[in-house]
Amino acid sequence: MKHWALFLLLAIGCYVWQIEAEFFTSIGQMTDLIYVEKDLVKSLKEYIKAEESKLTEIKSWAEKLDQLTHNSTSDPEGYLGHPVNAYKLMKRLNTDWLKLESLVLQQTSDGAQHVSTLSVEDCFELGKIAYSDGDYYHTVLWMQQTLKQLEEGEASPVTQAEALDYLSYSVYQMGDMHRAVDLTKRLIAIDPTHVRAKTNLHYFKKSLEEEVKSDQTRDEEFYQSQSKKEVYMQPENYLTERDSYEALCRGEGIKMTTRRQRKLFCRYHNNNKHPRLIIAPLKEEDEWDSPRIVRYHEMLSDAEIEKIKEIAKPVLARATVRDPKTGVLTVANYRVSKSAWLGDDEDPVVSRVNQRIGDVTGLEMETAELLQVANYGVGGQYEPHFDFSRRPFDSSLATLGNRLATFLNYKEEPDAFRELGTGNRLATMLNYMSDVPAGGATVFPDFGAAIYPKKGTAVFWYNLFKSGEGDYRTRHAACPVLVGSKWVSNKWIHERGQEFKRPCGLTEVD
């Protein structure tokens, strides 16, 4: 409310100057000062009222923030495990606190909205972020949600025209020309002065006509059905590995049939009567038949998990991946997590866990990598990848039933583990160190498997055949964490030292 203070200062200054110059000139003129003073009092009251309103708003904001911080600090990890809480925290720190500063210093009336659901502005901003990343599919979903909330009457500075502008161009990028035209017409009906919409409409219509002439469009019925849907669906034949991965993360497309299910069993596992497993064998459960994936129950105790997390937390850093061209470790946007590497000398618990992995698998741990501990927050994920290093392509591998031809993004890598001198990554042991309320599954897009986190359990699979060739079916991904905090630890076991523990087979697929 600086304008009130400025007005008062200017007014008082002018009147005081007038009084000092001509105070005794005329009583008649002095009577005017009575009304001037009355105006000053009125302005002063309005200024006080405005300041009180400002302080009331700031006080209300402070009380809400105080309650929020009380809840968040009582259980930080649990609080941030809810995606809306995590998003709102980032929004407050990056946007709302700046608005509060503006309110205090510049007297703006904006304030934070403390709601339990995403607002129109939230959905719109998320859609814009997806759009800037070229992710038109998710742009469509967020812009449709924006329009839905606007149509339901939610007040917002975001307009339907703004959302339709992004939506129409995104569905065009998705290949749905008919719907792009319909949405652009709707945009022009709302805002007839929208120049870009008129230009786009002409371009979309022309593109549609060209596709019709070249017979590259799909059935008219398909497009009409798409246009009537509230939620946009990707066009036919758009399926890619990423879509298979996302479908599995949603619990769709899992290919475990009843016939295959009958081949899966549970058993007590003592690894051929290993001395440390005779008295306390582990519970082993088949998760998948081919390639074989097993889960070990009660692999880690709660105390061991907490100790490993305690050791890892101070040294967690953004997880890296190996560049397929250079072999150099670097960060990547398709792996969003933090990780730390722990050796046997870090703590007896780490040494004991590594020893247990060796006991259960019967494999040599001396050549294995350090225990990698990873934490995935809300939205944390690791898109489809191989654990092993790919070797020069051999067409004979196509006979292995690995469907190599489908891997359009197959990339030959340099020997990523040459410096280690321990060979390729033979096998993976993945320890789940937390439950995940929603999301966070480990999925295998090639054969349609989804394995869900369960605290204290571990899953194990071989990345290589006995011949040493990579099993390309083991390409897997870590689904985004939707609610909660996901903790895992990996043990990558290498080839060297396993010559007599897992000898070569007689064929490539042994």
CATH superfamily entry for domain 120-234 = Tetratricopeptide repeat domain (1.25.40.10)
Query: Which pLDDT score is estimated for 61?
Result: 81
How remote is the C-alpha of 304 from its chain's centroid? 28
pLDDT at 230: 44
Q: Do domains 120-234 and 258-391+408-494 have the same CATH topology?
A: no
Residue 237 — very low, low, confident or very high, per pLDDT cuts 50/70/90?
very low
Q: Quote the CA–CA distance of 87 and 122 in Å, as a whole number.
A: 9
pLDDT in tens, 347-370: 999 999 999 999 999 999 999 999
Q: Which CATH number fits domain 258-391+408-494: 2.60.120.620, 1.20.1740.10, 4.10.1240.10, 3.10.20.30?
A: 2.60.120.620
Gap between the Cα atoms of 286 and 9, Å rounded: 81
Domain ranges of the chain: 2-86, 120-234, 258-391+408-494
Which among 330, 275, 292 has a CA at the least distance from the CA of 447?
292
In terms of average pLDDT, the best of 46-50, 148-152, 315-319 is 148-152
φ, ψ of residue 294 to 5 degrees: the values are -120, 155
Residue 470: exposure state from Cβ atoms within 10 A (0-12, 13-18, ≥19): buried
Question: Residue 238 above 60 pLDDT?
Answer: no
CB distance 245 to 477 below 8 Å: yes
- The pLDDT value given to residue 240: 67
